[in-house]
A and B are shown apart, each in its own frame.
Chain A
Amino acid sequence: MAVKGQRVGMEVSIAVSHAVQLARAEAVAAYPITPQTHIVEHLSSLVANGDLEAEFINVESEHSAISACIGMSAAGARTFTATSSQGLALMHEILFIASAMRFPIVMAVANRALSGPLSIWNDHGDIMAARDIGWIQVFVENGQEAFDHSIMAFKIAENYKVLLPTIVNMDGFILTHVVEALEMLDQETVDKFLPEYHPRFNLDPKHPITMGAFAMPEIFSEVKMGHQQALTASYEHILRVWEEWGKLTGRVYRPVERYRADGAKVLLLIMGSLAEVAEVAVDDLQAAGESVGLVKLRMWRPFPFKDLREAVAGAELVIVCDRALSLGGAAGPVLAEVRSALYPLAQKPAVLGFTVGLGGRDVQPETFKEIVRLARQEAAAGPTQEYFLFGVRS
Protein backbone atom coordinates (compact mmCIF):
# COMPACT_ATOMS: atom_id res chain seq x y z
CA MET A 1 0.00 0.00 0.00
CA ALA A 2 1.58 3.25 -1.13
CA VAL A 3 2.07 6.08 1.33
CA LYS A 4 -0.20 9.02 0.60
CA GLY A 5 1.89 12.12 1.18
CA GLN A 6 0.53 15.54 2.02
CA ARG A 7 -0.42 17.42 -1.15
CA VAL A 8 0.90 20.97 -1.20
CA GLY A 9 1.35 23.80 -3.68
CA MET A 10 5.01 24.70 -3.71
CA GLU A 11 7.71 26.17 -5.90
CA VAL A 12 9.77 23.28 -7.22
CA SER A 13 13.10 24.75 -5.99
CA ILE A 14 11.68 24.92 -2.47
CA ALA A 15 10.42 21.35 -2.80
CA VAL A 16 13.92 20.21 -3.79
CA SER A 17 15.42 21.88 -0.73
CA HIS A 18 12.77 20.18 1.43
CA ALA A 19 13.73 16.87 -0.17
CA VAL A 20 17.33 17.53 0.87
CA GLN A 21 16.11 18.41 4.36
CA LEU A 22 14.07 15.21 4.56
CA ALA A 23 17.16 13.30 3.38
CA ARG A 24 18.96 14.79 6.39
CA ALA A 25 21.87 16.16 4.39
CA GLU A 26 24.70 16.93 6.78
CA ALA A 27 26.78 19.23 4.62
CA VAL A 28 26.00 21.79 1.93
CA ALA A 29 28.35 24.10 0.07
CA ALA A 30 26.96 26.14 -2.76
CA TYR A 31 27.12 29.40 -4.61
CA PRO A 32 24.02 31.17 -5.93
CA ILE A 33 23.38 31.14 -9.66
CA THR A 34 20.17 31.67 -11.59
CA PRO A 35 17.98 29.60 -11.92
CA GLN A 36 19.28 27.38 -9.15
CA THR A 37 19.52 30.05 -6.43
CA HIS A 38 16.22 29.35 -4.66
CA ILE A 39 17.29 25.80 -3.84
CA VAL A 40 20.38 26.71 -1.82
CA GLU A 41 18.88 29.97 -0.58
CA HIS A 42 16.10 28.01 1.06
CA LEU A 43 18.50 25.36 2.33
CA SER A 44 20.55 28.12 3.88
CA SER A 45 17.43 29.36 5.70
CA LEU A 46 16.60 25.86 6.89
CA VAL A 47 20.09 25.51 8.37
CA ALA A 48 20.11 29.02 9.85
CA ASN A 49 16.70 28.44 11.47
CA GLY A 50 17.79 25.15 12.97
CA ASP A 51 15.36 23.13 10.84
CA LEU A 52 18.21 21.20 9.25
CA GLU A 53 21.21 20.12 11.26
CA ALA A 54 23.91 20.60 8.66
CA GLU A 55 27.10 22.45 7.94
CA PHE A 56 26.37 25.13 5.34
CA ILE A 57 29.53 26.59 3.85
CA ASN A 58 29.28 29.86 1.96
CA VAL A 59 31.98 29.91 -0.67
CA GLU A 60 33.22 32.41 -3.23
CA SER A 61 32.68 30.33 -6.35
CA GLU A 62 31.32 27.06 -7.66
CA HIS A 63 34.87 25.74 -8.00
CA SER A 64 35.13 26.15 -4.24
CA ALA A 65 31.61 24.83 -3.66
CA ILE A 66 32.29 21.45 -5.21
CA SER A 67 35.78 21.37 -3.68
CA ALA A 68 34.30 21.96 -0.23
CA CYS A 69 31.73 19.24 -0.93
CA ILE A 70 34.54 16.83 -1.70
CA GLY A 71 36.22 17.71 1.57
CA MET A 72 33.02 17.26 3.55
CA SER A 73 32.21 14.00 1.79
CA ALA A 74 35.75 12.79 2.50
CA ALA A 75 35.12 13.57 6.16
CA GLY A 76 32.08 11.30 5.96
CA ALA A 77 29.15 13.70 5.68
CA ARG A 78 26.06 13.28 3.52
CA THR A 79 26.71 16.13 1.10
CA PHE A 80 24.56 18.19 -1.26
CA THR A 81 25.11 21.05 -3.64
CA ALA A 82 23.27 22.66 -6.52
CA THR A 83 24.29 24.74 -9.49
CA SER A 84 23.55 25.70 -13.07
CA SER A 85 25.19 26.68 -16.34
CA GLN A 86 28.35 28.77 -15.80
CA GLY A 87 28.49 27.45 -12.24
CA LEU A 88 28.60 23.87 -13.46
CA ALA A 89 31.24 24.87 -15.99
CA LEU A 90 33.33 26.49 -13.27
CA MET A 91 33.13 23.23 -11.28
CA HIS A 92 34.28 21.26 -14.28
CA GLU A 93 37.75 20.00 -13.34
CA ILE A 94 36.63 19.07 -9.83
CA LEU A 95 33.59 17.11 -11.04
CA PHE A 96 35.85 14.41 -12.46
CA ILE A 97 37.76 14.23 -9.18
CA ALA A 98 34.55 13.83 -7.14
CA SER A 99 33.53 10.82 -9.19
CA ALA A 100 37.00 9.28 -9.50
CA MET A 101 37.36 9.48 -5.72
CA ARG A 102 33.87 7.97 -5.48
CA PHE A 103 32.24 10.52 -3.20
CA PRO A 104 28.44 10.10 -3.13
CA ILE A 105 27.67 13.81 -3.40
CA VAL A 106 24.21 14.69 -4.69
CA MET A 107 23.82 17.74 -6.90
CA ALA A 108 20.77 19.39 -8.38
CA VAL A 109 21.48 21.03 -11.71
CA ALA A 110 18.93 23.59 -12.85
CA ASN A 111 19.67 23.20 -16.54
CA ARG A 112 20.46 26.45 -18.31
CA ALA A 113 22.20 27.53 -21.50
CA LEU A 114 25.92 28.19 -21.39
CA SER A 115 27.17 31.61 -22.48
CA GLY A 116 27.64 33.06 -25.01
CA PRO A 117 25.64 34.84 -25.85
CA LEU A 118 24.72 35.35 -22.22
CA SER A 119 21.46 33.60 -21.46
CA ILE A 120 19.92 32.65 -18.15
CA TRP A 121 17.24 30.47 -19.73
CA ASN A 122 16.77 26.79 -20.08
CA ASP A 123 18.42 24.28 -22.34
CA HIS A 124 20.77 21.34 -21.72
CA GLY A 125 23.99 22.96 -22.91
CA ASP A 126 25.42 23.04 -19.38
CA ILE A 127 25.05 19.37 -18.53
CA MET A 128 26.01 18.15 -22.00
CA ALA A 129 29.35 19.91 -21.59
CA ALA A 130 29.71 17.83 -18.41
CA ARG A 131 28.51 14.62 -19.99
CA ASP A 132 31.67 12.63 -19.32
CA ILE A 133 32.32 13.55 -15.70
CA GLY A 134 31.60 10.00 -14.51
CA TRP A 135 28.59 10.88 -12.34
CA ILE A 136 25.21 9.17 -12.36
CA GLN A 137 22.87 11.55 -14.20
CA VAL A 138 19.09 11.49 -14.36
CA PHE A 139 16.59 13.91 -15.86
CA VAL A 140 13.23 14.81 -14.36
CA GLU A 141 10.11 15.97 -16.08
CA ASN A 142 8.13 17.82 -13.39
CA GLY A 143 8.32 19.07 -9.83
CA GLN A 144 7.17 15.84 -8.24
CA GLU A 145 9.92 13.97 -10.03
CA ALA A 146 12.46 16.60 -8.93
CA PHE A 147 11.39 16.06 -5.31
CA ASP A 148 11.36 12.26 -5.58
CA HIS A 149 14.72 11.95 -7.33
CA SER A 150 16.43 14.37 -4.94
CA ILE A 151 15.74 11.91 -2.12
CA MET A 152 16.37 8.73 -4.11
CA ALA A 153 19.70 10.08 -5.39
CA PHE A 154 21.23 9.82 -1.91
CA LYS A 155 20.19 6.20 -1.51
CA ILE A 156 21.59 5.34 -4.93
CA ALA A 157 24.84 7.26 -4.53
CA GLU A 158 25.62 5.95 -1.05
CA ASN A 159 25.20 2.25 -1.84
CA TYR A 160 28.61 0.61 -1.26
CA LYS A 161 28.34 -1.11 -4.63
CA VAL A 162 27.78 2.31 -6.26
CA LEU A 163 29.55 5.12 -4.34
CA LEU A 164 29.20 7.62 -7.15
CA PRO A 165 28.12 11.25 -7.13
CA THR A 166 24.72 11.82 -8.66
CA ILE A 167 23.18 14.69 -10.58
CA VAL A 168 19.46 15.32 -10.77
CA ASN A 169 18.85 17.44 -13.87
CA MET A 170 15.82 19.71 -13.81
CA ASP A 171 14.98 22.30 -16.43
CA GLY A 172 15.76 25.79 -15.18
CA PHE A 173 12.73 28.09 -14.71
CA ILE A 174 10.39 25.66 -16.51
CA LEU A 175 10.62 23.48 -13.41
CA THR A 176 12.62 25.34 -10.79
CA HIS A 177 10.49 28.48 -10.70
CA VAL A 178 7.06 26.95 -11.17
CA VAL A 179 4.61 26.33 -8.35
CA GLU A 180 3.29 22.81 -8.66
CA ALA A 181 0.95 20.61 -6.71
CA LEU A 182 3.31 18.14 -5.06
CA GLU A 183 2.98 15.20 -2.77
CA MET A 184 5.43 15.58 0.10
CA LEU A 185 6.54 12.76 2.36
CA ASP A 186 6.88 12.92 6.13
CA GLN A 187 10.19 12.55 7.95
CA GLU A 188 9.39 9.12 9.36
CA THR A 189 8.70 7.68 5.90
CA VAL A 190 11.89 9.14 4.44
CA ASP A 191 13.95 7.96 7.43
CA LYS A 192 12.72 4.43 6.86
CA PHE A 193 13.55 4.65 3.17
CA LEU A 194 16.92 6.36 3.54
CA PRO A 195 19.06 5.05 6.40
CA GLU A 196 21.81 7.08 8.05
CA TYR A 197 24.93 7.45 5.90
CA HIS A 198 27.98 5.47 6.90
CA PRO A 199 30.92 6.18 4.58
CA ARG A 200 32.91 3.27 3.18
CA PHE A 201 36.10 5.32 3.65
CA ASN A 202 36.52 8.60 5.46
CA LEU A 203 39.32 10.78 6.75
CA ASP A 204 40.04 9.81 10.33
CA PRO A 205 43.35 10.52 12.10
CA LYS A 206 42.95 7.28 14.06
CA HIS A 207 42.89 5.26 10.84
CA PRO A 208 45.01 7.14 8.31
CA ILE A 209 44.37 6.44 4.65
CA THR A 210 45.35 8.25 1.46
CA MET A 211 42.62 9.68 -0.76
CA GLY A 212 43.38 11.19 -4.13
CA ALA A 213 46.79 9.64 -4.57
CA PHE A 214 48.33 10.13 -7.98
CA ALA A 215 48.52 7.26 -10.44
CA MET A 216 51.44 6.30 -12.63
CA PRO A 217 50.76 5.02 -16.15
CA GLU A 218 50.93 1.45 -14.82
CA ILE A 219 47.76 1.85 -12.73
CA PHE A 220 45.73 4.73 -14.26
CA SER A 221 43.72 2.54 -16.65
CA GLU A 222 42.90 0.06 -13.89
CA VAL A 223 41.46 2.83 -11.70
CA LYS A 224 39.43 4.13 -14.66
CA MET A 225 38.15 0.64 -15.40
CA GLY A 226 36.93 0.33 -11.82
CA HIS A 227 35.07 3.63 -12.21
CA GLN A 228 33.55 2.60 -15.55
CA GLN A 229 32.46 -0.77 -14.17
CA ALA A 230 30.92 0.86 -11.09
CA LEU A 231 28.98 3.37 -13.19
CA THR A 232 27.71 0.68 -15.55
CA ALA A 233 26.81 -1.64 -12.67
CA SER A 234 25.01 1.19 -10.83
CA TYR A 235 22.14 0.58 -13.27
CA GLU A 236 20.87 -2.40 -11.25
CA HIS A 237 21.06 -0.51 -7.96
CA ILE A 238 19.31 2.52 -9.42
CA LEU A 239 16.48 0.28 -10.61
CA ARG A 240 16.22 -1.34 -7.20
CA VAL A 241 15.93 2.03 -5.46
CA TRP A 242 13.37 3.27 -8.00
CA GLU A 243 11.38 0.06 -7.52
CA GLU A 244 11.38 0.48 -3.75
CA TRP A 245 10.24 4.08 -4.21
CA GLY A 246 7.50 2.90 -6.54
CA LYS A 247 6.20 0.52 -3.87
CA LEU A 248 6.46 3.24 -1.25
CA THR A 249 4.79 6.10 -3.13
CA GLY A 250 3.07 4.53 -6.12
CA ARG A 251 5.27 6.62 -8.42
CA VAL A 252 7.22 4.26 -10.65
CA TYR A 253 10.28 5.38 -12.60
CA ARG A 254 12.03 3.60 -15.45
CA PRO A 255 15.31 4.34 -17.30
CA VAL A 256 13.38 4.81 -20.53
CA GLU A 257 9.68 5.56 -20.41
CA ARG A 258 7.15 5.36 -23.22
CA TYR A 259 4.02 7.37 -23.79
CA ARG A 260 1.40 5.94 -26.18
CA ALA A 261 4.27 4.36 -28.08
CA ASP A 262 2.92 0.82 -28.56
CA GLY A 263 2.89 0.06 -32.24
CA ALA A 264 3.79 3.65 -33.19
CA LYS A 265 5.73 3.92 -36.46
CA VAL A 266 7.20 7.30 -35.55
CA LEU A 267 8.66 8.02 -32.11
CA LEU A 268 9.67 11.34 -30.64
CA LEU A 269 12.51 10.95 -28.14
CA ILE A 270 13.25 13.62 -25.54
CA MET A 271 14.74 14.24 -22.08
CA GLY A 272 13.42 16.56 -19.41
CA SER A 273 10.33 18.71 -19.00
CA LEU A 274 9.55 19.13 -22.70
CA ALA A 275 8.41 15.50 -22.71
CA GLU A 276 5.14 16.68 -21.15
CA VAL A 277 4.67 19.17 -23.98
CA ALA A 278 5.40 16.41 -26.47
CA GLU A 279 2.69 14.27 -24.81
CA VAL A 280 0.11 16.86 -25.85
CA ALA A 281 1.41 16.77 -29.42
CA VAL A 282 1.27 12.96 -29.44
CA ASP A 283 -2.33 13.04 -28.17
CA ASP A 284 -3.32 15.45 -30.95
CA LEU A 285 -1.45 13.52 -33.64
CA GLN A 286 -2.96 10.20 -32.59
CA ALA A 287 -6.41 11.77 -32.51
CA ALA A 288 -5.76 12.79 -36.12
CA GLY A 289 -4.93 9.16 -36.91
CA GLU A 290 -1.16 9.46 -37.04
CA SER A 291 1.03 6.67 -35.72
CA VAL A 292 3.25 8.79 -33.47
CA GLY A 293 4.40 7.94 -29.94
CA LEU A 294 6.84 9.30 -27.39
CA VAL A 295 9.96 7.91 -25.71
CA LYS A 296 11.47 9.67 -22.71
CA LEU A 297 15.04 9.14 -21.66
CA ARG A 298 15.24 9.47 -17.88
CA MET A 299 18.58 7.83 -17.16
CA TRP A 300 21.44 9.52 -19.02
CA ARG A 301 24.38 8.00 -17.15
CA PRO A 302 24.71 5.08 -17.04
CA PHE A 303 23.22 5.05 -20.53
CA PRO A 304 20.37 2.50 -20.67
CA PHE A 305 21.32 0.78 -23.93
CA LYS A 306 19.04 -2.24 -23.53
CA ASP A 307 16.00 -0.24 -22.46
CA LEU A 308 16.44 2.17 -25.33
CA ARG A 309 16.73 -0.62 -27.90
CA GLU A 310 13.58 -2.25 -26.53
CA ALA A 311 11.71 1.05 -26.38
CA VAL A 312 12.20 1.82 -30.07
CA ALA A 313 11.91 -1.75 -31.38
CA GLY A 314 9.47 -1.90 -34.28
CA ALA A 315 9.48 1.84 -34.99
CA GLU A 316 10.37 3.08 -38.47
CA LEU A 317 11.53 6.54 -37.51
CA VAL A 318 12.93 7.93 -34.25
CA ILE A 319 13.10 11.72 -33.97
CA VAL A 320 15.57 12.76 -31.30
CA CYS A 321 14.86 16.22 -29.90
CA ASP A 322 18.08 17.54 -28.43
CA ARG A 323 18.26 20.54 -26.10
CA ALA A 324 21.93 21.23 -26.83
CA LEU A 325 24.38 21.47 -29.71
CA SER A 326 27.67 19.84 -30.47
CA LEU A 327 28.97 22.64 -32.67
CA GLY A 328 30.91 21.43 -35.66
CA GLY A 329 29.89 17.88 -34.91
CA ALA A 330 27.33 15.70 -36.60
CA ALA A 331 24.57 16.06 -34.09
CA GLY A 332 23.22 17.02 -30.73
CA PRO A 333 24.63 14.87 -27.92
CA VAL A 334 21.47 12.80 -27.39
CA LEU A 335 21.13 12.13 -31.12
CA ALA A 336 24.74 10.97 -31.28
CA GLU A 337 24.28 8.58 -28.35
CA VAL A 338 20.96 7.21 -29.55
CA ARG A 339 22.34 6.58 -33.04
CA SER A 340 25.40 4.94 -31.55
CA ALA A 341 23.25 2.71 -29.32
CA LEU A 342 21.06 1.59 -32.23
CA TYR A 343 23.79 1.20 -34.84
CA PRO A 344 24.77 -2.42 -33.95
CA LEU A 345 21.16 -3.64 -34.42
CA ALA A 346 20.28 -5.51 -37.60
CA GLN A 347 16.75 -4.09 -37.59
CA LYS A 348 16.80 -0.43 -36.68
CA PRO A 349 14.71 2.65 -37.28
CA ALA A 350 15.91 5.70 -39.16
CA VAL A 351 17.11 8.27 -36.61
CA LEU A 352 16.83 12.01 -37.26
CA GLY A 353 17.79 14.82 -34.93
CA PHE A 354 16.10 18.15 -34.25
CA THR A 355 17.56 20.51 -31.69
CA VAL A 356 14.86 22.61 -30.02
CA GLY A 357 14.34 25.09 -27.23
CA LEU A 358 17.85 26.54 -27.03
CA GLY A 359 18.44 29.37 -24.57
CA GLY A 360 14.84 29.30 -23.39
CA ARG A 361 13.13 29.41 -26.81
CA ASP A 362 9.53 28.41 -26.13
CA VAL A 363 8.51 24.97 -27.34
CA GLN A 364 4.81 24.36 -27.86
CA PRO A 365 2.96 21.17 -28.86
CA GLU A 366 2.77 22.70 -32.36
CA THR A 367 6.57 22.62 -32.47
CA PHE A 368 6.61 18.85 -32.12
CA LYS A 369 3.84 18.44 -34.70
CA GLU A 370 5.87 20.49 -37.18
CA ILE A 371 9.01 18.48 -36.35
CA VAL A 372 7.15 15.22 -37.02
CA ARG A 373 5.94 16.61 -40.37
CA LEU A 374 9.44 17.73 -41.37
CA ALA A 375 11.07 14.52 -40.18
CA ARG A 376 8.68 12.38 -42.20
CA GLN A 377 9.56 14.42 -45.29
CA GLU A 378 13.27 14.16 -44.65
CA ALA A 379 13.11 10.43 -43.91
CA ALA A 380 11.14 9.78 -47.11
CA ALA A 381 13.51 11.73 -49.35
CA GLY A 382 16.74 10.93 -47.48
CA PRO A 383 17.98 13.49 -44.95
CA THR A 384 19.39 16.70 -46.43
CA GLN A 385 21.33 17.65 -43.27
CA GLU A 386 23.19 15.90 -40.45
CA TYR A 387 20.72 17.39 -37.98
CA PHE A 388 18.28 20.27 -37.84
CA LEU A 389 18.29 23.30 -35.58
CA PHE A 390 14.54 23.76 -35.49
CA GLY A 391 12.89 27.12 -35.83
CA VAL A 392 15.90 29.16 -36.89
CA ARG A 393 14.90 32.11 -39.06
CA SER A 394 16.79 32.42 -42.31
Chain B
Amino acid sequence: MSKPWDQFTWQEVEIGGVLTEPGSARAYKTGDWRSQHPVWTKSRCIKCGVCWTVCPEAGITEQPDGYFDMNDYCKGCGICAKECVTGCISMVPEEE
Protein backbone atom coordinates (compact mmCIF):
# COMPACT_ATOMS: atom_id res chain seq x y z
CA MET B 1 0.00 0.00 0.00
CA SER B 2 1.33 3.35 -0.99
CA LYS B 3 -0.19 5.06 2.05
CA PRO B 4 -2.26 4.18 5.13
CA TRP B 5 -5.89 3.15 4.60
CA ASP B 6 -7.34 6.10 6.43
CA GLN B 7 -5.83 8.47 3.87
CA PHE B 8 -7.59 7.01 0.81
CA THR B 9 -10.59 8.83 -0.66
CA TRP B 10 -13.32 6.69 -2.22
CA GLN B 11 -12.16 7.78 -5.69
CA GLU B 12 -8.68 6.42 -4.96
CA VAL B 13 -9.88 2.96 -3.97
CA GLU B 14 -9.35 0.55 -6.87
CA ILE B 15 -12.43 -1.01 -8.50
CA GLY B 16 -13.76 -3.82 -6.33
CA GLY B 17 -11.14 -3.09 -3.67
CA VAL B 18 -8.54 -4.90 -5.79
CA LEU B 19 -4.98 -4.62 -4.47
CA THR B 20 -2.77 -4.30 -7.53
CA GLU B 21 0.53 -4.81 -5.70
CA PRO B 22 1.47 -8.09 -4.04
CA GLY B 23 2.81 -8.21 -0.48
CA SER B 24 0.10 -6.19 1.21
CA ALA B 25 -0.11 -8.66 4.11
CA ARG B 26 3.56 -8.07 4.85
CA ALA B 27 3.00 -4.34 4.90
CA TYR B 28 0.25 -4.64 7.46
CA LYS B 29 1.88 -4.96 10.88
CA THR B 30 -0.69 -7.09 12.64
CA GLY B 31 1.37 -7.02 15.83
CA ASP B 32 -0.38 -3.73 16.56
CA TRP B 33 -3.25 -5.78 17.99
CA ARG B 34 -1.37 -7.29 20.90
CA SER B 35 -1.89 -6.35 24.53
CA GLN B 36 1.20 -8.18 25.77
CA HIS B 37 4.46 -9.42 24.26
CA PRO B 38 7.11 -12.02 25.05
CA VAL B 39 10.49 -11.05 26.55
CA TRP B 40 13.39 -13.55 26.45
CA THR B 41 15.89 -13.81 29.32
CA LYS B 42 18.97 -14.72 27.28
CA SER B 43 20.95 -16.10 30.23
CA ARG B 44 18.42 -18.95 30.54
CA CYS B 45 17.77 -19.48 26.78
CA ILE B 46 19.30 -22.65 25.26
CA LYS B 47 18.47 -21.64 21.62
CA CYS B 48 16.34 -24.80 21.20
CA GLY B 49 13.80 -23.00 18.98
CA VAL B 50 10.68 -24.47 20.57
CA CYS B 51 9.18 -20.96 20.77
CA TRP B 52 9.80 -20.46 17.04
CA THR B 53 8.28 -23.88 16.29
CA VAL B 54 5.08 -23.43 18.28
CA CYS B 55 4.34 -19.84 17.27
CA PRO B 56 1.10 -20.04 15.22
CA GLU B 57 1.66 -16.71 13.49
CA ALA B 58 5.36 -16.77 12.46
CA GLY B 59 5.68 -13.95 14.93
CA ILE B 60 9.12 -15.05 16.13
CA THR B 61 12.36 -14.62 14.17
CA GLU B 62 15.73 -16.21 14.80
CA GLN B 63 18.40 -13.57 15.36
CA PRO B 64 21.92 -13.71 13.80
CA ASP B 65 23.36 -14.77 17.19
CA GLY B 66 20.99 -17.77 17.38
CA TYR B 67 18.67 -16.29 19.99
CA PHE B 68 15.02 -15.55 19.25
CA ASP B 69 12.89 -12.42 19.36
CA MET B 70 9.40 -11.39 18.36
CA ASN B 71 8.69 -9.51 15.11
CA ASP B 72 5.97 -7.06 13.99
CA TYR B 73 3.44 -9.87 13.59
CA CYS B 74 3.50 -11.24 17.15
CA LYS B 75 0.00 -10.92 18.58
CA GLY B 76 0.99 -11.72 22.16
CA CYS B 77 -0.89 -15.01 22.51
CA GLY B 78 1.71 -16.35 25.00
CA ILE B 79 2.00 -19.89 23.59
CA CYS B 80 5.80 -19.45 23.36
CA ALA B 81 6.04 -18.52 27.05
CA LYS B 82 3.85 -21.49 28.02
CA GLU B 83 5.88 -23.98 25.95
CA CYS B 84 9.42 -22.63 26.60
CA VAL B 85 11.57 -25.53 27.87
CA THR B 86 13.59 -23.48 30.35
CA GLY B 87 10.92 -20.92 31.21
CA CYS B 88 13.03 -18.06 29.89
CA ILE B 89 10.09 -16.24 28.22
CA SER B 90 7.82 -13.96 30.21
CA MET B 91 4.80 -12.07 28.89
CA VAL B 92 4.95 -8.33 29.51
CA PRO B 93 1.94 -6.02 29.10
CA GLU B 94 2.15 -3.41 26.32
CA GLU B 95 2.88 0.09 27.56
CA GLU B 96 -0.11 2.41 27.33
Contacts and interface: CB of A to CB of B under 8 A. Distances in A.
Chain B interface size band reads 10 to 19
A225 B10 CA distance: 6
B48 interface: no
A163 to B, nearest CB: 6
Interface in A194-222: 200-201, 208-213, 215-216, 218-219, 221-222
Contacts of A129: none
A163 B18 CA distance: 13
A200 B10 contact: no
A72 to B, nearest CB: 16
B17 A223 contact: yes
Given A210-B24, A216-B5, A226 B19 contact: no
A72 B11 CA distance: 27
B24 A223 contact: no
Contacts of A211: 16, 18
Contact of B22 (A209, A218, A229): A209
Given A210-B24, A213-B24, A219 B13 contact: yes
A133 interface: no
Contacts of A218: 4-6
A301 interface: no
Given A218-B5, A222-B8, A209 B18 contact: yes
Contacts of B11: 226
Given A210-B24, A213-B24, A219 B18 contact: no
Contacts of A208: 22
Contact of A226 (B5, B15, B21): B15
Interface of A: 100-103, 163, 200-201, 208-213, 215-216, 218-219, 221-223, 225-226, 229-230
12 contacts: A102-B15, A102-B16, A163-B15, A201-B15, A210-B22, A213-B19, A218-B5, A221-B10, A222-B8, A223-B13, A223-B17, A226-B10
User: Which 6 pairs across A and B sit closest by C-beta, in order of nearness?
Assistant: A102-B16, A225-B10, A210-B19, A218-B6, A222-B10, A219-B5
